[in-house]
């Protein structure tokens, strides 16, 4: 067996799903990114395969057909189109600036397209690790499905920029700042009216039809000139109902868990520990509570419900969301980069405790079986 064959045999093909969660640091989100919509979708798909327990980026083997589906490519020459997109993405860089340094890094450290094999192998650049791996605070997560139907790169970028401020419900940009973050070419949409019509209003329509958030805008004027825009962000309840409450009788427990935004590694632990009936009953129980809207960390709460079997114990008492009225003093109308730090610290700690319990249960069972 050749070295190439031995190397290929060690890698399993990664399963991709539109229900997986994409997590990114807010610092990365708030950095200008000159990527096409399809290039972004490849980055998001790869990011959705990063697991919380990963210590380093792994090379992921992904079926070309799966990537084509994620990108919405339905033509017969999808192999060629995916290869071209991957090749162009390999050349792209992102610039991350801080007080101490200016990091210029390629998104991918490697991309290997295997002709005739039907798959491609991708790996993030190691320098991106602080922004995509082992995130504990100041980050934003969203389901991959939110961005897959968006055909405009501007709509994709506006989605993630606003999603990172969803908890605060608003975000303001100067026109120049917005153009810079969206990487609008200097000669494109020179007048605000064109930018509003072709970029902002299109994104408004796209997000309301296809994602879990929507927005209204308020123009900031200096005299008669529009110098900035405030986006008022709210959850898109129509999307929420369609995606979360659309129970499928034939759906497996694992698929139901994934649909709730729970990571594949946790889903695997839950399905190994509990019966299909217990898992699906508890998910249904949580989603059909009248006050489900007030559950701050829905995926973490569902894990807790399954673990403690709320259907049986009737202890499902979601914490009332008082955080809207008790935001820390350091949260003001400026675009603070660490606005979600406290909330995510709490959520991460609670979720980690549940995960540790599941892992301990699994280890105990394995010890008994030995």
Residue in 198, 151, 122 with CA at minimum distance from that of residue 40: 151
Calpha distance 63→84 (Å, rounded) = 15
What are the φ and ψ backbone dihedral angles of 34, each rounded to 5 degrees? -95, 70
The residues near 198 (Cβ < 8 Å, ≥ 6 apart) are: 189
What's residue 290's pLDDT? Answer: 61
Specify the DSSP class assigned to residue 106.
E
Tell me the two tokens of residue 158. Answer: 């506006």
CA 159 to centroid of chain Cα atoms:
11
- Extract the runs of DSSP E, i.e. beta strands, from the chain: 21-25, 60-63, 93-97, 102-106, 108-114, 119-124, 139-143, 170-174, 213-222, 225-235
Give the 3-state secondary structure of residue 315: coil
Beta-sheet strand order (sheet of 60-63): 60-63, 119-124, 108-114
Strand-pairing partners, residue 229, are 173, 219
Would you call 176 helix, strand, or coil by DSSP? helix
Do the beta carbons of residue 164 and residue 212 sit within 8 Å?
no
Q: Give the global pTM.
A: 0.75
H or E element, residue 123: strand 119-124
- Which tokens sit at 215? 């927005």
CA-based nearest residue to 304, from 270, 276, 271, 272: 270
Q: Give the pLDDT means over successive 10-residue stretches in the chain (370 positions).
A: 47 86 93 96 94 84 95 90 95 93 96 91 95 87 91 97 94 97 95 96 96 95 95 84 60 80 79 87 80 68 85 63 37 39 49 64 65
Are 337 and 139 contacting, i.e. CB atoms less than 8 angstroms apart?
no
Supply the pLDDT for residue 208: 94
Tokens of 139: 């980050």
Q: Measure the CA–CA gap between 357 and 269, rounded to whole angstroms.
A: 10
């Amino acid at each position: 067996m050749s070295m190439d064959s031995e190397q290929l045999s060690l890698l399993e093909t990664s399963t991709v799903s539109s229900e997986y969660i994409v997590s990114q640091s807010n610092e990365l989100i708030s950095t200008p990114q000159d990527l096409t919509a399809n290039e972004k979708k490849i980055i998001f798909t790869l990011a959705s395969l990063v697991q919380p327990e990963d210590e380093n980026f792994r090379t992921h083997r992904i079926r070309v057909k799966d990537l084509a589906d994620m990108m919405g490519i339905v033509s017969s020459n999808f192999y060629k189109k995916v290869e071209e997109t991957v090749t162009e993405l390999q050349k792209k860089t992102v610039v991350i600036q801080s007080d101490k340094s200016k990091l210029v890094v390629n998104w991918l450290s490697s991309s290997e397209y295997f002709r005739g094999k039907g798959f491609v192998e991708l790996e993030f650049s190691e320098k991106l690790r602080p922004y995509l791996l082992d995130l504990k605070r100041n980050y934003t997560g969203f389901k991959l499905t939110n961005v897959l139907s968006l055909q405009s790169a501007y709509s994709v970028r506006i989605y993630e920029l606003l999603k990172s401020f969803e908890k605060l419900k608003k975000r303001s940009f100067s026109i120049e700042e917005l153009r810079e973050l969206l990487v609008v070419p200097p000669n494109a949409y020179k007048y605000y009216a064109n930018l509003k019509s072709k970029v902002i209003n299109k994104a408004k329509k796209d997000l309301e039809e296809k994602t879990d958030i929507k927005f209204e805008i308020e123009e900031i004027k200096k005299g008669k000139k529009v110098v900035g825009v405030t986006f008022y962000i709210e959850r898109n309840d129509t999307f929420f109902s369609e995606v979360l409450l659309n129970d499928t009788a034939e759906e497996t427990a694992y698929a139901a868990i994934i649909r709730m935004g729970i990571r594949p590694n946790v889903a695997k632990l839950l399905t190994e520990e509990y019966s299909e009936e217990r898992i699906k009953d508890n998910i249904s129980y949580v989603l059909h509570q009248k006050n489900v809207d007030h559950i701050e960390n829905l995926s973490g709460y569902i894990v807790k419900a399954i673990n403690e079997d709320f259907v049986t114990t009737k202890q499902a008492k979601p914490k009332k969301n008082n955080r809207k009225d008790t935001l820390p003093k350091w949260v003001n109308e400026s675009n603070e980069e660490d606005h979600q730090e406290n909330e995510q610290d709490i959520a991460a700690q609670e979720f980690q405790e549940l995960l540790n319990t599941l892992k301990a249960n699994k280890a105990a069972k394995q010890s008994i079986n030995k």
